[in-house]
Chains A and B, each alone.
Chain A
Amino acid sequence: MELIRKYPKLFQWLFLLSVFFTLCFAIDVPETYKFIRGQAEFVKDPNQSTYIFLGKEVRYFAFDNFWRLPPLLGWLPIWINDGLFFLLNEWMPMEFWNEDTQEFKTRPLVLQITRNITAFMTFLIEFIREILLGGVETIVAFSSWDWIDKNPWAELPGLPWTIVAAGATILSYKLSGKGLALFAGFTMVYISIFGQWKPSMQTLSFILVAAPLSFIFGLSLGIMAYKSKRVEKALYPILLVMQTMPQYAVLVPAMVLFGIGDHAAVIITMVVAIPPMILLTILGLRAVPPEVIEAGKMSGCNNWQLLFKVLIPTARRDILIGVNQVIMVCFSMAVIAAFIGAKGLGWNLLLALNQLNIGLALEAGLCISLIAILLDKMSLAWANKQEDYFGNLTFFQRHKNFIFFVGAVILGLILAYSGSFIFKDTFNYLFEIPHNKGISTAGFWNKGVDWIFDTFFVYIKAFNTWLITEVLQPMRGLYLRMPAVATLVLVIGAGYIIGGIRSAIVVGSLALFIAFSPWWDRALVTAYMATFGVIASMIIGVTVGTICVQNKITTNFMLGICDIFQTFPSFVYLIPVMMLFGITDTSVLIAVIVYATIPATRYTIEGLRGVPVALHDAATMSGVTKFQRLTKIEFPLAFPHMMLGLNQTIVFALFMVIIGAFIGTEDLGQYILKALSDKQGGGKGLTLGICVAFIGLIFDNLIRTWVDKRKKHLGID
């Protein structure tokens, strides 16, 4: 009795686990059970049960309700699909003026709106693309084809690559100094020499449209949420789900609404990039000291002046960090959006991966990573840049960079023009190096891959087989062996023990949603892959983090590495693992582990480093050894922050598991990917995405609740 009173939580956990295992052993696997592949609603089978909800028939294989819950939400995807279809094709038909045919045409409102947005986006992308690469569509949009035919001088070529490179270098120098300028110059020259100029500029033009639009929308929504509690309450759940939703899942509904192509890619990128911008805007505005706001009010600011002259400039840094996040999401999406036809490096990367041309994929991946790192560093430098006072500078000093840029433009134009004489018979390398005329290392890499395969095939294969048969298959079996009821009890019980009745209800309803969807089995597979990845990542991350934090140099080195790795678009991770392990579950899992180790390491380092120096000194003075200090002082204090790291690790792992579906897995991700090529995929893609998001949110809720309590208990913020 005394023990129970001393460790009440421990006994609650023990009780929960015993209930869980009792349920697991008490409920047998039904004889008819086989892994549900989820296509229940298509294959007609006399053994299926059916029910009809809101006029939609749902077919499914019924089992004992304790073993697997019936898919009571099976109608949801169909219903979303029909809803989308109805909105797009039937709702509110109206007369619209058609420019091309010069007549009024009847069209449903939503269709007209989406087409207008599409036209606008396409125009923006074309406009920037033509500045960078040349073309006439924008000029035509303001004149006509006839006009262009009569005035051939208006067919302007794009900017020579030398000018863009010089521009990037000068801008980097202004933002951060010599180091970044050097990197910018190197990146641009590399891209050009390796013949990736055109796809790079396509990707860049796509980002130059998506990022500013996301910024404007995110900032405005963030301000609205800051001003009005009601807006914030309405936005918050959406933001939460969007943060954990795999980006694949949004592809399909966007495709239904906006078709395929660069414009759809921009829209979907905005959908993904706006939430972090909103969050950081709110965060930044909240962090403005109340006295500064009061000072603004007492200076006689009206609401607009207060917003634009006091609040936003004071929150500048957080808002610019938001811009940085937006840019990073845009790069990540530049590859994923290639699935719905975004041109550029992502498209090339996807194509190369599909052909298993690892060398080409590596080149494209390297390019996109380099540009991503460059833009990341540039936007971060902008965020951290303190304004200088320009009052007493001469005209030249003040406009130094601009003058240099003008000089670079003139020089670049001269070079490009003279290039047209030097390279008369071939391509004008001083203007643009064509895609297939650059240096290519693809052959070398492909040979390298072949060599690795030839040399290490036996070992890799042995490791692969061992991992799959000895670890992965049994683990997967165990996960699938769990009766649905037992899993639900475990989740709800954990919620109750950690956060009380409120948490139990939240996580319980999230889990029930998945259990009632037609994809419970697949969700279990997703969960198993994520679990494996998270455990491995945490072990590696915590160990590496703990070792690195012992020394200042290694700490900064490791954080730098984390920064760079985090900048890589997620898809890039698949390239090296496919190189080494081919197309297996192992590849996916290794990509997951590498990707999810980043937050695990980073949060460990940050947590341990955040332990107050005074405590360090106090511990040293009480004569502890280094090891004692680590276990008795540093770990307990850093633990809450490390748990937040676990939270991030789970999100990252889930994310990569879903992306791994590209290689081929049997989980939710595979279905999301399938939904892309499915006419009725919109609703399915979205529902599947929500399922994945909910898996993430269950852990998010549990961990956050625990951390908050623990932090309060320890008295640290």
Chain B
Amino acid sequence: MSDAVIKCESVYKIFGANAKKMLQDANGNVDAQTFQKNGCIVGVNNASFEVSKGEMLVVMGLSGSGKSTLLRCISRLTDATDGKIYIEGQDLLSLKDKELIELRRSKMGMVFQSFALLPHKTVVENIAFPLQIKGIKTEDSISKAMDMVKLVGLEGRENYFPRELSGGQQQRVGIARSLAVEPDIWFLDEPFSALDPLIRKEMQDEFLRLQEKLKKTIMFITHDFDEALKLADRIAIMKDGIIEQLDTPANIVLNPATEYVKKFTEEVPREKVLIIEDVMDAPTTENLSDIKVSKDEIIENVAEKILTQEKSVNVIDENNKIVGTVRPSKIIHTVFGGRKNNS
């Protein structure tokens, strides 16, 4: 694929003294337990995937699953033990320090779980920091940073210090800082995990609004499956350094690849994740009701409309063309069927 912005080919990250040698001996067959016996810890185990332009890939996993390590390999905050990583076709691992710094100054932005703001700088100075590091004049960087302050809705607080802000506000600063250099690639490492549930939801909505406008290529790390479903174009689920499944949210919910993935999907409210297109059948002419629903609607929004019908409902695409039908019983089955207690 030519428009793959991030491309990983069998990336390994193994911590420990003689990790490189052990990896060679293992011949591509890495087993976490045997490695651990020899004093090595497997962070990322044979990760291969691509992220295309404007796509949001959410990497989801519990703590210790290697998701943050994977992100740090791709941002080269740590060096991968083996494998190839390409950023817009450039071989990341062969870059010299200078080229790497250049790449980060122009193409990458990153948001951190603990916000990682500089305590001695004000909001606007924090946001201007990457610009000033680049060597942009103070006034220009400050005026650019002020645009970012507005973008994340922190007007009036630009001269506050991080210690005077709430967690949500601090993370807004972190987001603004990561966007200041107008990067193409945006890394977010559990950006909302340290926030209260209500603030978290607000920030997620805000984040979706921003992405709608900016269309960045995004790698988003989270341990929250609901958050992953809400935000992702595609989700990668990791366990013990291995990517268990990489697919669209709907496919993951409908067809979990492994037992491990299935455990997450069981509790998921499917009506909130799936769209009509995921559950519709081929178009028929028999027994149709006269209402129509769009194929991109989330089930939850149209369920009442469909379930009050006795007959099947036509599904249309954006051009009002009929592309399928959906039976009320199918909706009931999707939402309530296959649950632990029912099956």
Contact = CB atoms under 8 A, between A and B. Distances in A.
Contact of A391 (B75, B101, B102, B159): B159
B61 interface: no
A387 B118 contact: no
Given A300-B133, A387-B120, 5 more contacts: A300-B134, A300-B181, A305-B133, A313-B118, A389-B159
Interface stretch (A21-29, A113-121, A286-294): A286-294
Interface string A643-682: 0000000000000000000000000000000000000000
A316 B121 CA distance: 12
20 contacts: A289-B116, A291-B112, A291-B115, A294-B72, A294-B110, A294-B112, A295-B177, A298-B108, A298-B110, A298-B178, A298-B187, A299-B177, A300-B105, A302-B101, A309-B118, A314-B118, A314-B120, A316-B120, A389-B122, A391-B122
Contact of A291 (B104, B116, B163): B116
A408 interface: no
Contacts of B113: 291
Given A389-B161, A391-B159, A295 B116 contact: yes
Interface in B116-136: 116-122, 129-130, 133-134
Interface of B: 72, 75, 77, 97, 101-102, 104-105, 108-110, 112-122, 129-130, 133-134, 159, 161, 163, 174, 177-178, 181, 187
A289 B115 CA distance: 11
Nearest to A302: B101
B133 A298 contact: no
A297 interface: yes
Contacts of B129: 299, 309
A574 B295 CA distance: 91
A285 to B, nearest CB: 14
Contacts of B97: 302
Contact of A298 (B75, B119, B121, B122): B75
A603 B172 CA distance: 41
A295 B112 contact: yes
A633 interface: no
Contact of B130 (A299, A313, A316, A387): A299
Nearest to B160: A389
A463 to B, nearest CB: 55
Contact of B77 (A298, A300, A392): A298
A309 B133 CA distance: 9
Nearest to A387: B120
A313 B129 CA distance: 13
A295 B176 CA distance: 13
A392 B101 CA distance: 35
A298 B104 contact: yes
Contact of A300 (B104, B114, B117): B104
B112 A299 contact: no
B104 A310 contact: no
Contacts of B112: 291, 294-295
Contacts of B134: 300
Contacts of B159: 389, 391-392
B110 A295 contact: yes
A551 interface: no
Contacts of A392: 159
Given A289-B116, A294-B116, A299 B133 contact: yes
Nearest to B112: A291
Top-9 shortest CB links A-B: A300-B105, A299-B130, A295-B116, A291-B116, A298-B110, A291-B112, A300-B104, A313-B120, A292-B116
B77 A297 contact: yes
A301 interface: yes
B118 A292 contact: yes
B101 A300 contact: yes
Contacts of A309: 118, 129, 133
Interface in A602-645: none
Interface of A: 289, 291-292, 294-295, 297-302, 305, 309-310, 313-314, 316, 386-387, 389, 391-392
A313 to B, nearest CB: 4
A297 B122 contact: no
Contact of A297 (B104, B114, B178): B104
Contacts of B115: 291
A685 B218 CA distance: 66
A611 to B, nearest CB: 28
B50 to A, nearest CB: 22
A299 B104 contact: yes
Contacts of B109: 298
B139 to A, nearest CB: 13
A389 B157 CA distance: 12
A226 to B, nearest CB: 18
* Most chain A CB inside 10 Å of its own CB: which residue of B114, B116, B121, B161: B116
Contact of A301 (B120, B133, B163, B187): B133
A389 B158 CA distance: 11
A309 B132 CA distance: 11
B149 to A, nearest CB: 14
A602 B303 CA distance: 68
B221 to A, nearest CB: 13
Contacts of B114: 289, 291
Nearest to B123: A389
Contacts of A387: 120, 161
Contacts of A292: 116-118
Contacts of B75: 298
Nearest to A293: B116
* Most chain B CB inside 10 Å of its own CB: which residue of A292, A297, A300, A389: A300
A447 to B, nearest CB: 55
Given A294-B116, A295-B110, A300 B161 contact: no
B151 to A, nearest CB: 18
B105 to A, nearest CB: 3
* Most chain A CB inside 10 Å of its own CB: which residue of B108, B115, B133, B177: B133
Contacts of B120: 313-314, 316, 387
B132 to A, nearest CB: 8
Contacts of B177: 295, 299
B150 to A, nearest CB: 17
Contact of A386 (B104, B108, B161): B161
Contacts of B110: 294-295, 298
Contacts of B163: 386
A474 B105 CA distance: 74
B160 to A, nearest CB: 8
A313 B119 CA distance: 8
A299 B128 CA distance: 10
A316 B101 CA distance: 25
A518 to B, nearest CB: 45
Contacts of B117: 292, 295
Contacts of B116: 289, 291-292, 294-295
A475 to B, nearest CB: 51
B154 to A, nearest CB: 15
A256 to B, nearest CB: 45
Contacts of B104: 297-300
Contacts of A294: 72, 77, 110, 112, 116
Nearest to B115: A291
A310 B117 CA distance: 10
Contacts of B181: 300
Nearest to B122: A389
A291 B118 CA distance: 11
A107 B3 CA distance: 72
Nearest to B130: A299
B18 to A, nearest CB: 18
Contact of B119 (A300, A314, A391): A314
B69 to A, nearest CB: 13
